């Protein structure tokens, strides 16, 4: 027999599988039940495939192969999230067109993925930067636009001076650009938004009710932490909104609070620096110079600077008094930049006794702190928990929960305020002043204004005659062929929108395209969508918890609302692979020089060993550190499987113990794959092969069952041995074995004998031994007697097949 040489057999089978595409392609006409298993598609970066990609793709490949062998018609596609900044930045630096760079990277990724033996359906490959694809990204923009879900407005937006573009809130991390870490500044600009906030709560749609972004999470199988992160991002809070009258005027100041129960403890009110009321009250403000100075200082500060300020600052609007509607008392008014203009009403009631921020501010400016909820020590710190109300007029004595209800009812009765729900989630800013993205299909006409491009004119092609150096405006502005067009409505000369779309727009609908990737008339036919969607299993990094997953859910909900599809959640089951760190425990990065290149591992150990190693590292969802030394263990395992070939005999039936272990293994491996516990599935197969190795001969049928189980993990090796031992068809056409429970019973088991819960003896007994039988043996056992002699036996606990515990006084 030859030596196991991965490099030879892996190439051989990759070629053979490519020639037999039915092994990996989804079948359009099949009576089998469908299963859609999807990876978060990669951005084809110049760095090539990362070991983290391999972890993700190996897991879904194992699962897809497992599902196929269990009789499912599996859709397991791959494509490229190809628009985006790195290709453009590379172009700026080196002058290479992003299109060329991207295609080169895609080729490299393709080669790498194929060298790993992944069973993707390559016939459905998509590329978001191709006109055939972004035509439909543009169609989606128009779909949202026509239904009032895409709109343009002047807004304070996050601007990155280094990337020269605006960013979505989700792309700003700690006040800095997620990509280049440059500090983000605020700018007032006309930008395009998608109305994602329309879908926070449930609503009626053309194809039945559409579950909102919050409630929709209830019935999908996602990691709980991801659901919670999404809910936190949406940030729903329930409270009340009510008015303060400005003393001596008709004017009112509206505040939002979740703690209306503390309203009798209000000792002042604070406005955000951007609050319009400050300007309106200017003539009455006695210290206007001081206020104006504060406003201009606040305006200069970035959000980050505001957040980082150690001490809260503010200025009283002297000469203004406003009236607390609950008790009629006059309180003073401040402006302070710790109040956010974008949230709630941009004005907050300050209750220093029961809010930490107000407490800090009140201490600094020596303002009154009035306790209205009992339970804390407000001399020391704010008491922010619920409690029993005091100093609160007719509401005194109520607990906070009841008080909130009663006080909101009172506000509504008096017509001063109402119950109000607020959210942190804002509409999604989708326009980017960059080149390498899908152009926004809107035209500006002097007569007709903002006009949607006609659908038959899509795609609006990205021009090639541009200089993509960023200037703060989209590079498309400088392409005459691009922006000089005729108005689709009146035919007059008009100007095309020069912004492109955020790449997250492209990835918000790609899972639909895989159902019908070549369709030229629709983004996907209704028939194909209903055949393949929703996605049954979705896998990808946890870094997409709020961005991509929320946007994709929004697109799905919008499609359902307007009758295009009949489901409102795109991904029924979601799992994240944990990040793979370098062996030093740090993140793999070029600058640290600790990046592991999968190609090198494949060259040294083979793709099968790499796949197995990554699956064996630990629980899929957990973070783990790379350790090249450990790969050898998986190589040895594969080598053992290879060598056991020589032990097989055609015409024998296996040893009873081996059969029992085999069926236990079938059960465990099947359960473990179904639950994405690949590490323990592999260790169970190791146990089996270790037993096989010790035998003189192995029944061929037993060995074949192991090969079938191993095939999804180590496809090349399994397929090669399968052929070696005389099989004509691919091992992937085999049916997944089922465990026979009756064969899983051991004849003998080790029975633990405990005295007072401590193990004193282990006895080999028949697996069906009864309590009475074992009791006698156990009590007479000398090792046990040492601990029971002369003692009263209080009771005996018997766990069939496991242990007997003798409890003595």
Taking the C-alpha atoms of residue 66 and residue 703, their distance in angstroms, rounded to an integer, is: 18
The 3-state secondary structure of 228-241 reads: HHHHHHHCCEEEEE
Choices 17-25, 468-476, 681-689, 695-703 (CB under 7 A): range interacting with RNA: 681-689
Which one of 74, 85, 217, 349 is in contact with RNA (CB under 7 A)?
349
Contacts of RNA in 415-434 (CB under 7 A)? 422, 424
Provide the minimum distance between the beta carbon of 744 and RNA in the complex, in angstroms, as a whole number.
10
Task: Establish if 248 lies at the interface with RNA (CB under 7 A).
Answer: no
Choices 44-52, 62-70, 315-323, 793-801 (CB under 7 A): range interacting with RNA: 793-801
Task: Establish if 364 lies at the interface with RNA (CB under 7 A).
Answer: no
Provide the minimum distance between the beta carbon of 666 and RNA in the complex, in angstroms, as a whole number.
13
Residue 62: alpha-carbon gap to chain centroid: 21
Residue 167: alpha-carbon gap to chain centroid: 19
> With respect to RNA, which residue has the nearer C-beta, 258 or 597?
258
> With respect to RNA, which residue has the nearer C-beta, 100 or 623?
623
**Longest C-alpha distance within the chain, in Å?**
109
Task: Establish if 272 lies at the interface with RNA (CB under 7 A).
Answer: yes
Provide the minimum distance between the beta carbon of 348 and RNA in the complex, in angstroms, as a whole number.
4
Q: Which residue bears the tokens 């407490």?
A: 359
Contacts of RNA in 286-315 (CB under 7 A)? 306-307, 309, 312
Angle, vertex CA 161, rays to CA 158 and CA 162, nearest 5: 120
If you ran DSSP here, which 8-state letter would residue 477 be given? G
If you ran DSSP here, which 8-state letter would residue 346 be given? S
Helix (H, G, I), strand (E, B), or coil: what is residue 795?
strand
Choices 316-324, 341-349, 431-439, 470-478 (CB under 7 A): range interacting with RNA: 341-349
Provide the minimum distance between the beta carbon of 585 and RNA in the complex, in angstroms, as a whole number.
9
> With respect to RNA, which residue has the nearer C-beta, 352 or 437?
352
Task: Establish if 799 lies at the interface with RNA (CB under 7 A).
Answer: yes
> With respect to RNA, which residue has the nearer C-beta, 130 or 756?
756
Taking the C-alpha atoms of residue 68 and residue 57, their distance in angstroms, rounded to an integer, is: 16
> With respect to RNA, which residue has the nearer C-beta, 660 or 680?
680
Which one of 256, 268, 294, 713 is in contact with RNA (CB under 7 A)?
256
Contacts of RNA in 483-512 (CB under 7 A)? none
Which one of 133, 268, 338, 732 is in contact with RNA (CB under 7 A)?
338
Choices 26-34, 77-85, 222-230, 528-536 (CB under 7 A): range interacting with RNA: 222-230
Helix (H, G, I), strand (E, B), or coil: what is residue 16?
helix
Provide the minimum distance between the beta carbon of 623 and RNA in the complex, in angstroms, as a whole number.
6
Task: Establish if 785 lies at the interface with RNA (CB under 7 A).
Answer: no
Helix (H, G, I), strand (E, B), or coil: what is residue 28?
coil
> With respect to RNA, which residue has the nearer C-beta, 173 or 490?
173
With beta carbons less than 8 A apart as the criterion, state whether 387 and 398 touch: no
Which one of 469, 783, 791, 793 is in contact with RNA (CB under 7 A)?
783
Site size with RNA, rule: CB under 7 A: 87
Percentages (nearest 5) of helix, strand, coil residues in the chain:
40, 20, 35
Provide the minimum distance between the beta carbon of 305 and RNA in the complex, in angstroms, as a whole number.
8
Q: Where are the beta strands (DSSP E) in 251-329?
A: 252-257, 268-271, 314-323
CB under 8 Å to 696, separation ≥6 — which residues? 647
> With respect to RNA, which residue has the nearer C-beta, 137 or 754?
754
Provide the minimum distance between the beta carbon of 422 and RNA in the complex, in angstroms, as a whole number.
6
Task: Establish if 355 lies at the interface with RNA (CB under 7 A).
Answer: yes
Contacts of RNA in 689-718 (CB under 7 A)? 690, 693
Contacts of RNA in 581-610 (CB under 7 A)? 604-605
> With respect to RNA, which residue has the nearer C-beta, 234 or 539?
234
Provide the minimum distance between the beta carbon of 470 and RNA in the complex, in angstroms, as a whole number.
25
Cβ-based neighbour number of residue 787 at 10 Å: 16
Sign of CA dihedral 615, 618, 619, 623: negative
Provide the minimum distance between the beta carbon of 502 and RNA in the complex, in angstroms, as a whole number.
17
Phi, psi of 545 (to 5 degrees): -50, -50
Structure tokens at 741: 């429970």
> With respect to RNA, which residue has the nearer C-beta, 176 or 477?
176
Q: Which residue bears the tokens 């989209």?
A: 474
Q: Which helix (H) or strand (E) segment is 778 a member of?
A: helix 771-780
Contacts of RNA in 62-121 (CB under 7 A)? none
Taking the C-alpha atoms of residue 214 and residue 149, their distance in angstroms, rounded to an integer, is: 19
> With respect to RNA, which residue has the nearer C-beta, 494 or 685?
685
Task: Establish if 677 lies at the interface with RNA (CB under 7 A).
Answer: yes
Provide the minimum distance between the beta carbon of 310 and RNA in the complex, in angstroms, as a whole number.
9
Which one of 18, 46, 100, 228 is in contact with RNA (CB under 7 A)?
228
Provide the minimum distance between the beta carbon of 111 and RNA in the complex, in angstroms, as a whole number.
23
Q: How many contiguous H segments (helices) and E segments (strands) does the chain have?
A: 25, 35
Phi, psi of 299 (to 5 degrees): -65, -35
Cβ-based neighbour number of residue 286 at 10 Å: 12
If you ran DSSP here, which 8-state letter would residue 221 be given? B
Choices 118-126, 189-197, 252-260, 554-562 (CB under 7 A): range interacting with RNA: 252-260
Structure tokens at 675: 């639950």
Taking the C-alpha atoms of residue 98 and residue 103, their distance in angstroms, rounded to an integer, is: 8
Choices 179-187, 255-263, 647-655, 715-723 (CB under 7 A): range interacting with RNA: 255-263
Choices 30-38, 50-58, 529-537, 682-690 (CB under 7 A): range interacting with RNA: 682-690
Contacts of RNA in 745-774 (CB under 7 A)? 749-750, 752, 754, 756-760, 762
Asked if the bond preceding 459 is cis, omega within 30° of 0, the reply is yes
Contacts of RNA in 125-184 (CB under 7 A)? 173-174
> With respect to RNA, which residue has the nearer C-beta, 201 or 522?
201
Cβ-based neighbour number of residue 359 at 10 Å: 22
Choices 33-41, 233-241, 523-531, 701-709 (CB under 7 A): range interacting with RNA: 233-241
Residue 314: alpha-carbon gap to chain centroid: 39
CB under 8 Å to 659, separation ≥6 — which residues? 702, 743
Radius of gyration (C-alpha) of the chain in whole angstroms: 34
Contacts of RNA in 609-648 (CB under 7 A)? 616-619, 622-625, 627, 629-630, 632-637, 639-640
Provide the minimum distance between the beta carbon of 680 and RNA in the complex, in angstroms, as a whole number.
5
**Alpha helices by DSSP H, 472-547:** 480-483, 503-506, 510-513, 526-532
Choices 139-147, 479-487, 519-527, 799-807 (CB under 7 A): range interacting with RNA: 799-807
* Of residues 28, 26, 46, the one with CA closest to residue 36: 26
Helix (H, G, I), strand (E, B), or coil: what is residue 789?
coil
């Amino acid at each position: 027999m030859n030596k196991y040489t991965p490099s030879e057999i892996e190439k051989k089978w990759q070629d053979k599988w490519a020639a037999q595409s039915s092994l990996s392609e989804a079948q359009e006409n099949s009576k089998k039940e469908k299963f859609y298993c999807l990876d978060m598609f990669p951005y084809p970066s110049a760095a090539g495939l990362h070991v983290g990609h391999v972890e993700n793709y190996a897991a879904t490949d194992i699962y897809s192969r497992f599902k196929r062998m269990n009789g499912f018609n599996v859709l397991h596609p791959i494509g490229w999230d190809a628009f985006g900044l790195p290709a453009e930045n590379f172009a700026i630096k080196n002058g290479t067109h992003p299109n060329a760079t991207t295609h080169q990277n895609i080729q490299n990724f393709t080669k790498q993925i194929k060298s790993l033996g992944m069973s993707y359906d390559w016939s459905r490959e998509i590329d978001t930067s191709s006109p055939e694809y972004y035509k439909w990204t543009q169609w989606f923009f128009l779909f949202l636009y026509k239904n009032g879900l895409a709109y343009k407005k002047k807004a304070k937006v996050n601007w990155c001076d280094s990337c020269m573009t605006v960013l979505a809130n989700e792309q700003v991390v700690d006040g800095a650009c997620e990509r280049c870490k440059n500090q983000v500044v605020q700018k007032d600009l006309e930008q395009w938004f998608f109305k994602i906030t329309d879908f926070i709560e449930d609503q009626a749609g053309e194809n039945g009710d559409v579950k909102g972004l919050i409630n929709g999470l209830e019935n999908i199988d996602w990691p709980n932490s991801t659901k919670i992160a999404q809910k936190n991002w949406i940030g729903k809070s329930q409270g009340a909104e009510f008015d303060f009258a400005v003393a001596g005027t008709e004017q009112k100041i509206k505040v939002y609070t979740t703690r209306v129960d503390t309203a009798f403890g209000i000792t002042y009110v604070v406005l955000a620096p951007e609050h319009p009321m400050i300007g309106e009250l200017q003539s009455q403000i006695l210290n206007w110079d001081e206020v104006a100075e504060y406003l201009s200082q606040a305006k200069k500060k970035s959000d980050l600077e505001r957040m980082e300020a150690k001490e809260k600052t503010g200025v009283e609007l002297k000469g203004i008094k406003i009236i607390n509607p609950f008790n009629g008392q006059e309180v003073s008014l401040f402006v302070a930049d710790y109040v956010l203009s974008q949230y709630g009403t941009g004005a907050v009631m300050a209750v220093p006794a029961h809010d930490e921020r107000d407490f800090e501010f009140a201490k600094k400016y020596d303002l009154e702190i009035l306790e209205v909820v009992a339970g804390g020590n407000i001399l020391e710190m704010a008491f922010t928990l619920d409690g029993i109300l005091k100093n609160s007029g007719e509401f005194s004595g109520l607990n906070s929960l009841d008080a909130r209800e009663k006080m909101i009812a009172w506000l509504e009765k008096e017509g001063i305020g109402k119950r109000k729900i607020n959210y942190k989630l804002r509409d999604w800013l989708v326009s980017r002043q960059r080149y390498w993205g899908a152009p926004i299909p809107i035209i500006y006409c002097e007569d007709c204004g903002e006009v949607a491009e006609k659908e038959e004119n899509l795609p609006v092609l990205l021009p090639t005659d541009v200089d993509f150096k960023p200037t703060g405006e989209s590079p498309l502005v400088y392409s005459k062929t691009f922006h000089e067009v005729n108005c689709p409505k009146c035919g007059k000369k008009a100007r095309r929108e020069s912004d492109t779309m955020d790449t997250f727009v492209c990835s918000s609908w790609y899972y639909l395209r895989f159902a019908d990737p070549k369709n030229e008339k629709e983004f996907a036919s209704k028939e194909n969508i209903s055949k393949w969607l929703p996605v049954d299993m979705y896998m990808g990094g946890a870094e997409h918890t709020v961005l991509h997953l929320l946007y994709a859910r929004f697109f799905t909900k919008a499609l359902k609302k307007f009758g295009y599809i009949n489901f409102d959640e795109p991904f029924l089951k979601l799992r994240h692979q944990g990040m793979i760190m370098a062996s030093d425990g740090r993140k793999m990065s070029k600058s640290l020089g600790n990046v592991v290149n999968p190609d090198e591992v494949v060259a040294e150990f083979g793709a099968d060993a790499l796949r197995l190693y990554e699956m064996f590292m630990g629980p899929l969802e957990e973070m783990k550190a790379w350790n090249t030394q450990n790969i050898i263990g998986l190589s040895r395992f594969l080598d053992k499987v290879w060598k056991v070939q020589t032990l097989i005999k055609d015409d024998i039936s296996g040893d009873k113990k081996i059969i029992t272990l085999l069926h236990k293994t079938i059960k465990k491996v099947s359960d473990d794959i179904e639950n994405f516990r690949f590490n323990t599935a592999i260790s169970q197969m190791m146990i089996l092969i270790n037993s096989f190795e010790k035998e003189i001969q192995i029944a061929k049928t037993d060995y074949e069952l192991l090969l079938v189980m191993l095939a999804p993990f180590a496809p090349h090796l399994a397929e090669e041995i399968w052929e070696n031992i005389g099989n004509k068809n691919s091992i992937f056409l085999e049916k997944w074995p089922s465990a026979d429970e009756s064969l899983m019973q051991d004849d003998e088991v080790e029975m633990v004998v405990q005295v007072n819960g401590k193990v004193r003896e282990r006895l080999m007994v028949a697996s069906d031994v009864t309590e009475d039988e074992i009791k006698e043996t156990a009590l007479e056992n000398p090792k046990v007697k040492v601990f029971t002699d002369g003692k009263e036996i209080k009771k005996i606990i018997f766990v069939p097949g496991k242990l007997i515990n003798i409890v003595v006084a």
